[in-house]
Chains A and B, each alone.
Chain A
Amino acid sequence: MKILVLQLTRLGDILCTMPTLLALRRTYPEAEIHFLVRKRFAPAALVTKPYDHLWQWDAKRLLGDFIVGKGSITDGITRLSETIHQLRQENFDKIINLSFSPSSSFITHLISQNKIPTKGYTRTEDFYLAVPDEPSGYVRAQVGLDRSNRRHIIDILSDVAQVKLVDSDLHPFAIDEKKEGIVCHLGASRDHKTWPSISWIGFFNRLAQTQNESITLIGSNDDIELAQEILTQIKSDKIINSVGKTSWNELISILRIAKLFIGADSGPLHAASLAGCKTLNLSLGNVRFWETGPTVKGSRVLRSREPQHLMSDIVFNHCKNMLDDGDQFSESALCTGESDLRYKVYGGTNFEPDAWGTVHWMYFGGPRPQFLGDLPEALKQIEEVTDIAVLQVDALKQNAEKTEIIGILDSLDDVLEIMRKSIPPISPLLEEFRGSKENIAPGSRDEVFDKTRQCYLNLKGRVSALQTKG
């Protein structure tokens, strides 16, 4: 069997895909696994090679002329076509797209031509988005910022690929030896995720005064200036500056023997998880640690939407407590090592509220959430809207000339959309409804009506179940 796995998003996502690739290799030992990543991030795909062939999607070659300000669309299409045909010639038996992006759905469809079994986003014959499996539908409806998913992206990717992860998939480089030293990643891919230099300085000064552990600074070339700025303010012979000096494999070698990794939500954090290195995650800015935090049991997450609001004293206290194998978890989320829900939150006002209770009940068999206050009334209103919508769909199906009904249905959807945006606890219900409605593929008139009707009925079913007493 020949399997193609696509991961065409970013560096961190490639590292988060490694456990799924390892599980695929374990599950299908005879399979020939091909892995397609963007060339720019390909070095991250080389840290472990649970595949037989690495394909590099060369955006610069495909779009190079556009990027330098010249070139025609025809040239771009010709190059794209060549790449697709090259991949097609491999005659894959199965394609797993773990990218969840519009372009990857087209690429998947262009390779598969509806002839190859596919998991993950693809396209219908008439080019609408096709979400062929439940885990991908879950991603579309519930995953991402400002949503309520708490399932880790590593687990979701394995759900899409239909493989079960074991510890060795998550931490393939972990070693069971005495570990020493702290590794710190100073930067992050975005400013809003980066802890300020002044905070690092305060932290390092306290650490150097009280701990004997060596401190290795790591990072990309982009972090060199930040490292120099910090180092000029710290007097310590315990700090080793390796910023801009390590390959991914060297980074893994450093992390697998380190006692602790400290850093923001970025590529090195995922490398630390692969290396089995306990992590203190500085979860800053617009990120969702539930989905992308550390996976080594005993790791902790400190959350702050504003990077400067995370005090260096708090980071120091948690760092010290982790080095001492302590259990002072307050104001943090602790990685439990459980695959269902990887973190347990220990107090603190920094953890944004969400509607996980609703999502947990909808998708994972959790207890039915108890809605109080105005929420039962809101559910009743949703039920009324769905009742009217079903009647209108039926009327339009019977008489196509009643075009005014389309306007009524649009207005009803507008009401549901307003409720989705303004009533967070019920938003997962309406996210699911919206996703399923958008996913209705073009078909015969009757098919489209029936599927639209079913979307409203499914929403009504969810709402009714929530209202049931007992």
Chain B
Amino acid sequence: MRFSSLVFLMGEAGRNVRRNGLMSLAALSTVAIAMAVLGGAVYSLYRLHQFAEAQPRQFEIAVFMRFGQTRQKTEDVRRRIQALPGVETVALYSREQAWKDNNPLYGQVKDALDDNPLSDCLQVRVGDPKDTARMSALLANAAEFPEVEAVRDAKDELEKLFTFSRLVRNIGGAAAILLFLATALVIQNTIRLTVHARRKEIRIMQLVGATPGFIKLPMVLEGIFYGIAGAACAGGLVLFAAHQVSAYAGQFRSPLAADMPPAASPLVVLGILIAGGALVGWTGSALSVRRFLRRI
């Protein structure tokens, strides 16, 4: 297609938007609201999912050494665990430190109870939280690690978190699909009005031998315009809301807040919303054009 034809068709699309007047505004605001709900839902679900995903990383496998083992041996085990595939970090939590942290009478009755009853502990973090169970089973294997007394992991807690995260993903996905469909239907309806308002033009186009693609393009462009403009408004709303919510949440000193991964960049959110808007606009108008153009 010639460039001048494309300019012409875009002009026609712009003319449609202007001519549809209040209806354009209605379509645009409906799309904006739907996209804001959709975007807001997807964004908060994404954040929730991100948070849920990040949680298992906080869980460590605690590997307790046999009592009375030398530090040398503990260090040796630490190196061997570190070398295992899938292990991210291994930190030593020394028996002295543990004694200090867990004994409220430390310092006062130090002399009275001089003998530290604790053993060294290694805190293992795995790269993929789903590996936790496998890893702890491996570490608990007495044949492999005879120096190890006991292994504790947060299996049950992890299981719950994974379930929650799956739930968030499924419900969020279903809600997103429904909202996408609703938005596409609103756009489809608006484009149907355009088709109706332009039936004379379309008839002339058909009579002078315009190809179906040429007839459809301005209307598809119009739908994409509603999608993009609506999504841009929605993007502003979502980012504003996200900013407000995180400012509000920031007032609380929750240990969970510290675990929150950093938010996605506003440009990425806006870009995804606009791409989604363009897609929803295209879907809606293509549906409409296909259904209603045949009747003219």
A binds B: no
Chain A residues with a Cβ under 8 A of chain B:
none
